[in-house]
Structure 1
Amino acid sequence: MIETAAATGAGNAEAYLLVLAIILPVGGVLLSFLLGSRQAERIVLCLLPLGMGIAGVILADVWRSGKALTYVLGGWTPPLGIMLRADGLSAAMLVTTAIIIAAAAFFARAKFSTPRDTNDERAPLAFWTLLLAVWAALNAVVLGYDLFNLYVALELLTFGAVPLVSLDGRAETLTAALRYLLFALVGSMFYLLGAALLYGTYGTLDIGLLASRVRPEPAVYAAGVLMTAGLLAKTALFPLYLWLPPAHAGAPAAASAVLSALVVKGSFFLVVRIWFDALPGIFNAASAQVLGALGAGAIIFGSLLALQQPRLKMVVAYSTVAQIGYLFLMFPLIIGTASGMPWTGDAWTGGWMQLFSHAFAKAAMFLAAGLIAEALGHDRIADLGGIGRALPMTTIAFALAGLSLMGIPPTGGFVAKWMLLTASAMEGQWWWALVILTGGLLAGAYMFRILVPAMAEPRAALQASVLRHREMVPLALAVVALLLGLVPLQPMELLQIGRPASLQGAAP
């Protein structure tokens, strides 16, 4: 499954699907602007099964062939041209993105449909077009193989995600959106400065060509630090998380699910691309320990802050800050290991299982929290008052997702955290194991804070009815997070497809 060839040029028909995965939602955005909000929802609902099918075919082809799927735009090979590339990670991200976008869209129909007896409305048009824009940008992020084009994709992702925060136009959500935009733009500036340094030094930004040319020198170190810092701001890693809780908690439930489950993962994906693909062998064990320490800070402080929040969506938002931290424990457990192929170890699979299980669990939690807030007219934890008896399906979905965050078997979160624990023991880095166990206990504590009043008497008086099919959406996502626990506790071959032979001298 490990690739060492200079390219895996794809001459089969599936290679064209890489372009279509990006063009399809972009075309939907254009059609939505032309036809208006009444047709925008229908356009999205028509494109979703097509997009899911495209992602599924790409995943199947990569898995079947055991090689990365590539497509060179216009036939111009890098550095003159642009390459799209889907390895095992990209294919898995495409499928995860398509499923969660589809779930959010189905859930949002009740809130963002245009009534038949009215003209086009601004909020529905904005939501559906922004949802498509985020989908297109995420696909461009995971398929891009050029650092400048990835910068463009990141900016498109930012300008699609930020307006989702302030769709209701309230002062506090506008403030949260502006704070999010500020952090994102500063992060983009750092990323672009780093990319400019690399281009000035090596004359290319193609990841495959950079991997074969980079050497340990000051310009490369500076570029790596700048780009990493910028991406950490966009990922909201501790201590750069201040923008995330108000933004995710203030957005509509469907938007919060997409932001927390997918958008912050896009910048994390690029951190991995830079450290392990574009600049292999540049970062040492000490720098990886720094990333791990920031991840540990996110786990502990994010969980402690979640325990103090009076509102349900704020707890879920601070939980995102904490759960992001687990992703960065992968770095110290991979870099500096004796193995030349760390992709075959537990830490690599455990880190990515954390990403996928968190994506489904957190989407389920935000959608369930949104339904509870709609039904009660508020999301104050102290006044949940037996919502578990009034909305049992929604409460079960929230609880199942919480079990995954805690790392309770048999959930995907358990598989992820167990593999990270195993890697910590095997590498002799026991301090990360303590952090993982402490984070699981703290997650249990803030889930306990929520579920105890939710299951208490008397039964809550609902201010609004909740449609049964909307309750099924978060439950389905929570079940997916649960089913990920069936993945064997061993390195996954899919996540190794397209990986370089080692951290030194990577190739596309």
Structure 2
Amino acid sequence: MMWRFGLYDPSFDPLWMTHWALAGALLLPIMAGLLGAIFRPSRALPVVLACMPILVAGVLMVIDYQQAGLLRWQWVIGDIEFTLRFSGLSALMLLITQWTAAAVAMYTPGYLRLTYPDLNNRWIWPLMGLLVSALSLIWLAADLLTLYAALEIMGLAAVGMLLLSGKPAALKAGMRYLLLALVGSLAFLLGIALLLSQWGSLNLAVLVELVEQEPITWVAAALMGAGLALKAALFPLHGWLTPVHENAWTPVSALHAALVIKASLYILILLWSILLPETLLAPRLIAWLGMLAIVWGGLVAWRADSLKTLIASSTVGQLGYLMVAFPLLLGPGIAPLPLALAWDGFWLHLMGHALAKAAMFMAAGNLIIATGESSLNALAGTSRRLPLSLLIFGIASVTLMGLPPSAGFTAKWLLLQSMVLTQQWVAVAALMAGTLLTAAYVFRVFRYSFDETAPRHDYQPLAPGMDLIALCLAVAALALGLLAHLPLALLHGGGA
């Protein structure tokens, strides 16, 4: 399993160009965010120009990885060692982060111009840049200190973005999120302290060789797992998620649901692969909670009255699909074929969900802006005036439902194959039930939208490009299922 995370010694050093690309991937988002705070772009074109160097840096790193294989950087400052590794998984997560964040950034000027034209919104740009840099660092970090620092920076930036609207409800939800995030950080930090005191190293590759299965390791894994589960809104620690999205700006919700909660889940699967290899109880507990999450999230979304509540609740259920895969990735006695299928399905679902959920939040934001209402009842008759926004919502929903040819279908097919081979029939039933529940709450949205007896209302026109940007993300999630061999080849180290 460890080679999949790049925790081994590489054969080649990074090219000189890659050092600059690494600096660009980590620092350019912060610099672009500072420029945004100074100039406050009101159109998408300046944002496109600012995003181009960041995207180029990510592509250059991927090209170097395909030529040289695993890339590794290491610095020692005093007695502290910092290590970065760029594997196939890192490459995929970095690309998803950069392109999704770029789409959200291009969507933001039009959104702010229509919703908060008089508000001093300059701070969204540096916070967004800091968030993207922290996420990029998480995908590359190979020591616990760097992981912890990047996780805290990401969390603080996310909280800052949630508080930007200044509404009392947003302040309350943001402060609640901050408090719970700090509790999760404390548990994570206590786990790091236990590992350092027992094994004397924070380097993940060293811990792979040193860690033994004993009580202190289990306690550290439990503390870190609980803290990360709270940050990732895994069931049943998801209570903070819906209030946060109900009161957040649409670009903030899109980034948070697509990327932020995935970072904590990534760290959880990485650390448990080191601390709890071939363990039965912990992965099985996560899987049972994941099955409950699929059903609970679907039922809450089905009964939701608010569009944002529906989408936020669906996130709980979609994360359940990833939780169900834990025994396939970490459990004892899993044969190579089911393990490989589950590994591919897990990350493909995560990437497809990131793209589709960002597109869905943007489409919902467009519907809310145009109608001036956030309830499902207010969508009545929108099919006549906002067909493109509804089309985007529908295309994104195809991925969430797992219908062909989307990334959701391919990912669920891989996971189902792995579950059938390992005879996990309850998990198979949970995935099938989740698909039906997703279809139920998605078609509930369209039932209101296509109500032709609804009176005609005045709609606020959208800014140019807002629907187009969301459409690109939704189509990308769809195309990811047809072209799944490309990211999966990179995930397997293709070209190295």
For the criterion TM > 0.5, the same-fold answer is yes
Rounded Cα–Cα distance in structure 1 between residues aligned with 2:59 and 2:487: 22
The 5-angstrom pairing of residues 286-435 of structure 1 reads: 286-336=281-331, 338=333, 345-435=340-430
Which residue number corresponds to residue 151 of structure 1?
148
The 5-angstrom pairing of residues 189-338 of structure 1 reads: 189-276=186-273, 278-279=274-275, 281=277, 284-336=279-331, 338=333
Q: Does 2:81 match 1:81? A: yes
Q: Give the direction of change, closer, same or farther, for the CA distance of 1:138–1:490 in structure 2 (3 Å limit).
A: closer
- The alpha-carbon deviation at position 4 of structure 1 amounts to 7.9
Q: CA RMSD in A?
A: 2.6
Query: Of 70, 73, 84, which aligns to 1:71?
Result: 73
Tell me the amino acid that sits aligned with residue 155 of structure 1: E
**Would the aligned equivalents of 1:10 and 1:70 in 2 still touch at CA under 8 Å?**
yes
Which residue number corresponds to residue 491 of structure 2?
495
Report SS of the residue matched to 1:379: coil
Which residue number corresponds to residue 25 of structure 1?
29
Q: Does 2:459 match 1:463? A: yes
Q: TM-score under structure 1 normalisation?
A: 0.90
Q: Give the direction of change, closer, same or farther, for the CA distance of 1:180–1:193 in structure 2 (3 Å limit).
A: same
**Larger deviation: 246-255 or 474-483?**
246-255
Tell me the amino acid that sits aligned with residue 126 of structure 1: W
Report SS of the residue matched to 2:72: strand
- The alpha-carbon deviation at position 463 of structure 1 amounts to 3.2
**Larger deviation: 354-363 or 16-25?**
16-25
**Larger deviation: 224-233 or 245-254?**
245-254
Rounded Cα–Cα distance in structure 2 between residues aligned with 1:185 and 1:467: 38
Q: Give the direction of change, closer, same or farther, for the CA distance of 1:199–1:15 in structure 2 (3 Å limit).
A: farther
**Would the aligned equivalents of 1:155 and 1:188 in 2 still touch at CA under 8 Å?**
yes
- The alpha-carbon deviation at position 20 of structure 1 amounts to 2.7
- The alpha-carbon deviation at position 14 of structure 1 amounts to 4.4
Report SS of the residue matched to 2:384: helix
Instruction: Provide Cα deviations, 1:234-270, integer angstroms capped at 9, x if missing partner.
Output: 0000110011111122211111100100110111110
**Larger deviation: 16-25 or 458-467?**
458-467
**Larger deviation: 487-496 or 402-411?**
487-496
**Would the aligned equivalents of 1:387 and 1:459 in 2 still touch at CA under 8 Å?**
no
- The alpha-carbon deviation at position 53 of structure 1 amounts to 1.2
Rounded Cα–Cα distance in structure 1 between residues aligned with 2:215 and 2:97: 37
- The alpha-carbon deviation at position 364 of structure 1 amounts to 0.6
**Larger deviation: 54-63 or 466-475?**
54-63
Report SS of the residue matched to 2:423: coil
Rounded Cα–Cα distance in structure 2 between residues aligned with 1:460 and 1:167: 33
- The alpha-carbon deviation at position 28 of structure 1 amounts to 3.3
Mark the runs of 5 or more structure 1 residues left unpaired by the alignment. 499-508
- The alpha-carbon deviation at position 113 of structure 1 amounts to 5.7
Q: How many residues align?
A: 488
- The alpha-carbon deviation at position 440 of structure 1 amounts to 0.4
- The alpha-carbon deviation at position 43 of structure 1 amounts to 7.2
Query: Of 157, 160, 181, which aligns to 1:160?
Result: 157
Which residue number corresponds to residue 471 of structure 2?
475
Q: Give the direction of change, closer, same or farther, for the CA distance of 1:156–1:80 in structure 2 (3 Å limit).
A: closer
Rounded Cα–Cα distance in structure 2 between residues aligned with 1:114 and 1:308: 30
Q: Share of identical aligned residues, percent?
A: 34
Rounded Cα–Cα distance in structure 1 between residues aligned with 2:325 and 2:139: 19
Q: Does 2:63 match 1:60? A: yes
- The alpha-carbon deviation at position 10 of structure 1 amounts to 2.1
Mark the runs of 5 or more structure 2 residues left unpaired by the alignment. none
Rounded Cα–Cα distance in structure 2 between residues aligned with 1:299 and 1:232: 16
Q: Give the direction of change, closer, same or farther, for the CA distance of 1:489–1:38 in structure 2 (3 Å limit).
A: closer
- The alpha-carbon deviation at position 354 of structure 1 amounts to 0.8
Report SS of the residue matched to 1:326: helix
Instruction: Provide Cα deviations, 1:406-427, integer angstroms capped at 9, x if missing partner.
Output: 1111111111111111110011
- The alpha-carbon deviation at position 335 of structure 1 amounts to 2.5
Which residue number corresponds to residue 442 of structure 2?
447
**Larger deviation: 371-380 or 5-14?**
5-14
Tell me the amino acid that sits aligned with residue 466 of structure 2: R
